[in-house]
Amino acid sequence: LLLLALLAPVTKGKVFSQCELARVLQEEGLDGYRGYSIANWLCMAFCESTFNTAAQSVKADGSTNYGIFQINSQLWCPTTTAPRITSARAMLLSADLLSSNISDDTICAKRIVRHPQGMDAW
């Protein structure tokens, strides 16, 4: 067990304050993106993860929701635990969605709200 724990990737998550997350979301270009305000994004992130980037939840279908926006690994932004392969369609590492850097999370969130359901996808 100790060996497995040592081999597992180390993910350093972060729990944002509301103001801090609002600033980051603004910097990531989410304010007004597809008609959704920072308040919309903050409300969704709070409901999904209480602003915790390391949040994970396993669903009944075997998929996992990851990160501050609880992005589903099968529906939106496929993830893998294997090393990333360099290509235009490379999959995210699940650790990318769990780290304190939410740039990958916001890229996926933008992809989700471009879908006809918009933020209702959550």
- C-beta of residue 45 within 8 angstroms of C-beta of residue 30: no
* Order of strands across the sheet that contains 71-72: 56-58, 64-66, 71-72
Each residue's pLDDT tens digit, 26-80: 999 999 999 999 999 999 999 999 999 999 999 998 888 999 999 887 777 665 5
In whole angstroms, what is the distance from residue 9 CA to residue 117 CA? 34
- C-beta of residue 42 within 8 angstroms of C-beta of residue 22: yes
Which amino acid appears at position 18 of this protein? Q
Q: For the domain 18-113, what is the CATH code?
A: 1.10.530.10
The pair of structure tokens assigned to 83 is 């090393």
pLDDT confidence of residue 96: 77
